[in-house]
Every structure is written in C-alpha cells, then in structure tokens.
Chain A
Amino acid sequence: MTRAVLSEDDVLRAVAGERAAVERFTRAFLPRVYGLCLRLSRRRELAEEACQETFVRALAALPKLRDPARLDAWILRIAANTTRRLLAKAGREGPLDWEPAAIEPSADDEALARRKAVDLAVAELATPERELFLLHTVEGVRLRELARRRGTTPAALKARMHRIRSKVRVRALRHLERAGVRP
C-alpha cells in the first residue's frame, strides 16, 4: 500500500493555502482516502464526494492537528467519518455500484487470487466491521486511537479485531475453495 510521503514544509505550505503544496498534499493522500471511501461506501459517486469533503475538512482543520506524526491516521479517520455521515444521509437509496474483482481461476496467479479473495471477504463484512478492519489492519490506525474515538477500550477492540480477522479468513478461504485455487 502506498504511503504518503510529505515533508513538514509541504504541510505548512498547504495550511497556508499554497496551491502547489495543496496539490502535493492531495495527491499524496488521495489513493488511500479514495480506497477507504470506496470500500466503505461501495458507491463510486459517494466515494468521490466523500473524498472532496474529506480534503476540505482536513485542510480547514489542519492547523488544529495536535500530533503531526499521525497525520495519515488523522485524515483517514476524517475520511471514515465523512463516508459514514454521507452514507447515513443517503440512506438505502441508490444501488451498490462497486464490487471487488472476482477471482479468475484461469487468469489469476496464486498471489493475485489471494488478494482478491481477501478483498471479497472484506467487502462481505458489515459496515462497522469493515471500517474497523480497513482502518486498523489496512491503514494502520492504532487501536488506542480507534478505541478513544469509539468510547471503548483497546482490549475490547483487539478482541473484536480478532473475530473480524477470523471472519475474513474463513470467507477468503471459501472464495479460494470455490475458485478451485490450491497452493
């Protein structure tokens, strides 16, 4: 997964509104933010809107960021919150127009099939579980931060993460079985 590489100077310039720095800031985080928004919402249009809203909110609140070292986790949390809010606003209207790529037994090699299987398994999770898995396992947000935001303890989240991983494992293996993939 591509990680954002931004210097402190870039961030300061972006806060000041310098266009080039804002562009670098946006391009550095856009793939991760878009991937998270799309995987959470499973709607392309809503994911694009969530992306725009996320960067607007992030740049407006960037001067208040307490820990610049956790900038990526901070902006991904904003993305998740924005997506959740837009999803609640949109309700059940509009069909899901995005699904992870299916496994093609004849065309995919083993590694690609594994990645697709995990992707499919994550997409089958419930939205809160999917958000937790994506933020913690995929994006590396610490359990302590997630627990603080959710008003729970890191230990409880750790146990929940274990159950979510089990689900993902079982479902990914099921997809591989169905596709007939063997090591």
Chain B
Amino acid sequence: MTDPGPRDDAPSLDDERLAEALEGLGTAKERARLERVLADDPALATRCRALARILEEPVALPSLPLPEGLEAAVLAAIEDADLLELRPPEGLAGDVLERLEAEGLVASHPAHAVPRRPLRGHLGRGTVWAAAAALLAGLALGLLLGGRRLDAEEEALRAALARANAAEARARSEAEASRRRAEERADALARQEAQLARRADALARQEAQLARRADALARQEAQLARRADALAGAKGPAKAAAQAAPSGLREVVEARAVQRWTEDRGWVALAPGTRLEAAALLRALGGAGRLRTGKGRTLRLWPGVLYRVGPRGLVPLPDPGAPSYAGRSLPPRPRATAPPPRGVGRAPRRGDRAAALVAANPWERLFGR
C-alpha cells in the first residue's frame, strides 16, 4: 500500500469526539504512544482520520498538533489556575451581613450598619446626591460648631452603645436562664403527674384485688356453712335428741345415724374424734360385726371395746373403765398373708440363675463335655 502523503483537504474528525474518545482509550501509556506516533507521522494521522470518518465511529485520535508554545502556555494557565476573577455583585456583602444578623451570629450595631443594596437602586440618583449633599452640609456645620463637642458626644454615644450591648447580653442570658428554669419546672411537673397517675393505677388494681378476695371469702363462708350443715348429720328430732341426751345416749344416737348412712349410702362418714361403743355400734349395725370406715377399708368390731374415729378411720381405744375390757389384751391385729417362698412370687436375685444351672447339671458345668 502506497503512502498517499499528507493532504490539506483531508477530512478531519470532530475534535470533541476525538477528545472524548481519547479519554476513554486504554491506559495512559497507550495514549501517549499513539500521540507520539501520530505526531511524528502527519500523513499517517491524516489517513487515520479519513478512515475514522468513513467508519463513522469515534476513534481515539488526538487533534492536530498545535504549536508547542500555545500548548505550554495553556498548560501553565491550567497549572496556575489562572481563571478570570469573578467579582461578587455590589451589596452581596451587605446581604450576607444582614442574613448573619438575622441568624443571631452578629451583634446588632446600628452605628456600623452596612447598606444592604445601593441606595441608588431604591431612591434614584438625584435623591442620593441630595441626601449626600445634605449630610455633608450637616457635617460641615457640625464641624464648624465644634469638633470637640462632636467627639465628646461620639464617645458618650459609644459608651452608651457599649452599655446597651452589655445590658442586652445580660438580658439575653437571663432570659435564657429563665427559659431553662421554666423547662426544668415543666419537666418536673410532668414527672410528678406521671408518678401520680401510676400510683392511682396501682391503688385501683389493689382495690379490685381486695374486692375479688372479699367475694372469694364470702363464697368460701357460704360453702363452709353448707358443708357444716351437711356434716351435722341428723336432722330435726334426732339432732335435737342428740344435743339433749347424755354422752352414752349420744353415742347411740350417732351409731344410729351411722346405721342410717350405711344403709343409705353404703359407707360411714363420721367427724374425727367421735367415740363409739362397739356394742351400741353392733346393735345399730344389726350384728354384722364389720364396719366400712371409708377408703374401702373394713374393720371388725369387738364387743366391749370403745372405738374412736381417728384420721385413718376407727381405732380401738384402751378404756380401763369398761367392764368387758378387764383382764383382756387388745384384740390381735389380723396378720397379713404369709410371705411367698424363696424364688416364688418375687423378682429374681443375682445368683439365682447360676445356682439353678449348677443344680440342673453340676458335672457338665464343672468339667464340660
């Protein structure tokens, strides 16, 4: 391929596209190498640009080399950050000071007030000049009347201003302190109120609990009363006779009550401590000789023995005064069934199996086959 050489009318790429493409191209080293190659060979650079234009794609190619002096000057301008100075608009400083004063960051000081915007914009040029002339005339007149007097007045004004500033600062601090005290007092009152509310809730809960307990006690009392009535046993004339009769007859009456209960319900319920004479009880039971004492237990009654209802049922009472008891011992307790023989009806113990094996074939066990 022959080199057509540089052509002045060769199409050039848009510099912006070239710059953007250059920014996105690979590493800095590759870009530097490409720039060097294209700078050394203008013909190659022109051909590349023409090719890129044909392809209509952004290709990373540097623009035409500029004169070195201009590029160096631009680089120096960039490095020195030599930008045009932007002056803030007139009155912006006054605006800023006014804003700072409104935010409370600057002490209010009318003697040094900075105009927010030029007066000219509000009053017109003629008015400003007239005001300035009047001010100058007044100043000159004042100077003529006595400069020292003005100085003294200025000093007095400054002192008064300082005093006013100090008083304002004190008032501000006092107001701040009173505000803090009021806030603290309000907080304390709020805390007390919350505490009182909590106490009232607790008292209400206690009252409700006491009411529930009183109801429960009333229910228990009524239940006990009903139970006492039920336990009183005999009703009507029998109860009255029992209350009026002497102790021996009372036992009989109670034994009759036992008989009636036994016939009616099939079991006996007597209050603990009740004494029963066996003969009267046997008579009352119709000579059966056995009495169910509750919980499925039965007791054989012996004539002439006094029994007492204990916590486990009827127990015989040693009563030396009873005629049938003299010269006798207490009735023997019925013995439980005899214990089963060894190895029968019990859990096997350690050694039982070995003993059985030896008993079955001792020779085989000892000498083997």
A residues in contact (CB < 8 Å) with B: 1-2, 17-20, 22-23, 26-27, 30-31, 34-35, 38-39, 44, 48, 51-52, 55-56, 59-60, 100-101, 110, 114-119, 122, 137-139, 162-163, 165-174, 176-177, 181-183
Question: Could you tell me the dominant secondary structure of chain A's interface residues?
Answer: helix
Residues of B near A183 (CB, < 8 A) are 67, 69-70, 73
Q: Is the CB of B107 within 8 A of A17?
A: yes
In Å, the complex CA distance between A59 and B106 comes to 9
The answer to whether B99 has its CB under 8 Å from any CB of chain A is: yes
Q: How far is A93 from B282 in the complex, measured between Cα atoms in Å?
A: 117
Task: Report A9 CB to chain B, min CB distance, Å.
Answer: 17
Interface size on B, residues (CB 8 A): 41
Residues of the B chain whose Cβ atoms lie less than 8 Å from the Cβ of A101: 84
Q: Which of A100, A110, A169 contacts B78 (CB 8 A)?
A: A169
What B residues does A181 contact at CB under 8 A? Answer: 70
Q: Are B69 and A19 in contact (CB under 8 A)?
A: no
- Given the complex of chains A and B, what is the CA–CA distance between A27 and B87 in angstroms? 11
> Do residues B77 and A115 form an inter-chain contact, with CB atoms below 8 A?
yes
Interface residue? B88 (CB, 8 A): yes
Q: Smallest Cβ distance from A21 to chain B, in angstroms?
A: 9
Q: Find out whether the CB atom of A170 lies under 8 angstroms from the CB atom of B19.
A: yes
25 A-B contacts, Cβ less than 8 Å apart? A1-B85, A2-B85, A19-B106, A19-B109, A22-B100, A22-B105, A22-B106, A23-B93, A27-B93, A34-B87, A35-B83, A48-B92, A51-B92, A52-B96, A56-B105, A59-B100, A115-B77, A115-B83, A139-B81, A163-B23, A166-B22, A174-B15, A174-B19, A182-B67, A183-B67
User: B333 an interface residue at 8 Å Cβ cutoff?
Assistant: no
**Residues of chain B at the chain A interface (Cβ within 8 Å):** 15-16, 19, 22-23, 28, 63, 66-67, 69-71, 73-75, 77-79, 81-89, 92-93, 95-97, 99-100, 103, 105-107, 109, 112, 114
Q: Which residues of B contact A110 (CB under 8 A)?
A: 73
Q: Judge whether B77 and A118 touch: CB under 8 Å.
A: yes
Q: Give Cα A59–Cα B19 distance, bound, in whole angstroms.
A: 43
Least CB separation from A17: chain B residue? B107
Interface of B, helix, strand, loop or mixed by DSSP: helix
Contact in complex: A115, B84 (CB < 8 Å)? yes
Contact assessment for B19 and A167 in the assembled complex, using a CB-CB cutoff below 8 Å:
yes
- Inter-subunit contact B81/A170 (CB<8 Å): no
A131 to B222, CA, bound (A): 92
Contact (A173, B84) CB under 8 Å given A30-B92, A55-B99, A168-B78: no
- State how many angstroms separate the Cβ of A158 from the closest Cβ of chain B: 12
- Partner among A23, A117, A170 whose Cβ is within 8 Å of the Cβ of B97: A23
Q: How far, in Å, is B257 (CB) from chain A's closest CB?
A: 99
- How far is A170 from B290 in the complex, measured between Cα atoms in Å? 128
Q: Check A31 against B85 for contact (C-beta < 8 Å).
A: yes
The reply to whether B92 and A170 form a contact with Cβ atoms under 8 Å apart is: no
